[in-house]
Homo-oligomer: A and B are copies of this chain.
Amino acid sequence: MAADDTTAPVPPSPWERERPARDRVSTARAPLTRERVVEAAFTVLDRQGLDGLSMRQVAGELGVTVSALYAHVSSKDDLLELMYTRLFDDFAIPEPDRERWEEQLRDFARSVRRRLLSHRDMARISMGHVPFTAELLPHVESLLALFRAAGLPDRIAAEAGDLISTYVDGFVLEEGIWQDRAARQAGDDDPSLSRPDWREMAGEMQDYFAALPAADFPHLRALSGLMVMDSSDDRFDIGLEIILRGLASYLPDQGAGAPDA
């Protein structure tokens, strides 16, 4: 709720790409909206992946020519940015509760991950975009509110959001890589029918680690069972917990010792 009712208009930040002027469609004939373009882009993305997401494909999805898209979207980069923005459009960050800040942060990270996983290759799009746009700034604000309510020093609070977001993005991106690799390995021609047989690949992977020369790779061999994703969810939570504990160490009452530098 904290992020939803921002009635005051946020001015566009100075580096935001200028959208084409024809924003208001006069409802003359065809209902080809920028929203419909973005929607079609998501459809293509889920079907073909980011590498298969071309303006022609999007146009085809809408039964329209490529050039028609450029009336509603100024470039492909612009389209990707719109997709990134729309992914987190109705995202809600709860009102800060200083007793439950860790749970709230866990929920935040998990639901970001869920959203990124909801569309193929979405992490690749998300990474490489900064949420400092008029639409996404409220979320940044809400996150900051959470950190500060928890009692984190300002210097830490200012970095924490970036740190967590980067972690989630990077983690999901890596998940996607493995998923793609498993899919490509399974069904080489038609990647759509190939159920990501994931487990098979994880096993292969684990076998590889276990077969490494024992003298040179003692630790990799010892941890081979933990390195491959037994369950991605568990791995995700562990990394997240490391970050949360690091943040918690800066809480005044925790008194975990001053930084040594």
Contact = CB atoms under 8 A, between A and B. Distances in A.
Interface of A: 6, 8, 10-11, 13-15, 102, 124, 127-128, 130, 132, 137-138, 140-141, 144-145, 148, 154-160, 162-163, 166-167, 169-171, 173-174, 177-178, 181, 185, 201, 204-205, 208, 211-213, 215-220, 222-223, 226-227, 235, 237-239, 241-250, 256, 259-261
Nearest to A14: B204
A145 B219 contact: yes
Given A154-B223, A173-B127, A220-B137, A246 B242 contact: yes
Contacts of A219: 141, 144-145, 148, 157
A212 B174 contact: no
Contact of A159 (B217, B242, B259): B242
A163 B246 contact: no
Contacts of A6: 216
A212 B145 contact: no
A11 B207 CA distance: 12
A239 B159 contact: yes
- The 4 closest A-B CB pairs, nearest first, are A246-B246, A166-B170, A158-B226, A144-B219
A53 B35 CA distance: 33
A256 B256 contact: yes
B259 A241 contact: yes
A242 B154 contact: no
Contacts of A245: 245-246, 249-250, 256
